């Protein structure tokens, strides 16, 4: 996570530096207005304000792609609940070494061990207390997974808002130029503002559509992961209930 944050910050700095140094990098002898890097890439006369708006949208899109990659790598069942953790904890329960199971849960914090720790230490309080502790921790762990993927939902919601902001700003600029130029206005005078408005809409949708798809994908994945974990927990709780019944007999 820390490595990803540093990479995102580095990319952001490089992009802003390229935008700022565009006029120098693309300068041509004898030209009156060569434009900056952003204007050359996008093909519109955006001006300083347009560059800022579009740069923010671009940075948000980079963040979205980076976070989606991070989720592809880390939001996986074997990453969240490694098979060896399941095997070790199941081994303690199969052997009836409940004290060892508690110690393992405390020594190896994990989604599964955090869920099972509560029922293990509450066995003397009865079955209802065990189930209640497991259900409560399952809700907590599910919330953690949802929180982990929530930036994708935020980005997909902000994308159209950034696009709309650029669209409205571009149209306001276009009408201001129309009013200033009067009846002899040249179409080229408002081309940059209209181009900014349309490009902002496009870029906002370019962020929002993939963001929604990524969020839907990972939301479904987290649901499947938590369903699998819940089944594992139910099997372990059934074994623990058997030990309780044996103790009562």
- The pTM of this model reads 0.72
Give pLDDT tens digits along the chain (249 positions).
Answer: 444 444 544 554 455 444 444 443 444 444 444 444 455 444 445 556 667 777 787 888 889 999 999 999 999 999 999 999 999 999 999 999 999 999 999 999 999 999 999 999 999 888 999 999 999 999 999 999 999 999 999 998 888 887 787 778 778 777 777 777 777 777 776 776 777 777 778 888 888 899 999 999 999 999 999 999 999 999 999 999 988 888 776
CA distance 54 to 58: 6
């Amino acid at each position: 996570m820390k490595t990803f944050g540093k990479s995102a910050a580095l990319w952001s700095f490089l992009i802003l530096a390229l935008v700022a140094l565009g006029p120098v990098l693309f300068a041509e002898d004898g030209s009156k207005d060569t434009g900056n890097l952003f204007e050359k890439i996008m093909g519109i006369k955006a001006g300083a304000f347009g560059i800022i708006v579009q740069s923010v949208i671009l940075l948000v899109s980079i963040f979205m792609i980076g976070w989606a990659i991070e989720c592809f790598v880390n939001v996986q069942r074997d990453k969240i609940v490694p098979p060896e953790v399941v095997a070790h904890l199941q081994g303690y329960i199969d052997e009836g070494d409940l004290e060892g199971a508690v110690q393992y849960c405390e020594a190896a914090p994990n989604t599964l061990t955090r869920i099972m720790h509560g029922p293990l230490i509450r066995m003397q309080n009865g079955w209802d207390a065990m189930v209640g502790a497991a259900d409560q921790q399952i809700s907590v762990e599910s919330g953690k997974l949802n929180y982990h993927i929530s930036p994708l939902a935020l980005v997909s919601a902000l994308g159209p808002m950034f696009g709309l902001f650029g669209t409205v700003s571009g149209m306001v600029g276009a009408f201001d130029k129309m009013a200033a130029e009067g009846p002899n206005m040249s179409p080229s005078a408002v081309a940059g503002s209209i181009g900014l408005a349309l490009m902002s809409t496009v870029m906002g949708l370019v962020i929002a559509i993939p963001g929604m798809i990524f969020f839907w994908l990972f939301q479904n994945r987290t649901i499947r992961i938590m369903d699998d974990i819940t089944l594992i927990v139910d099997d372990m709780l059934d074994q623990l209930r058997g030990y309780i019944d044996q103790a009562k007999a």
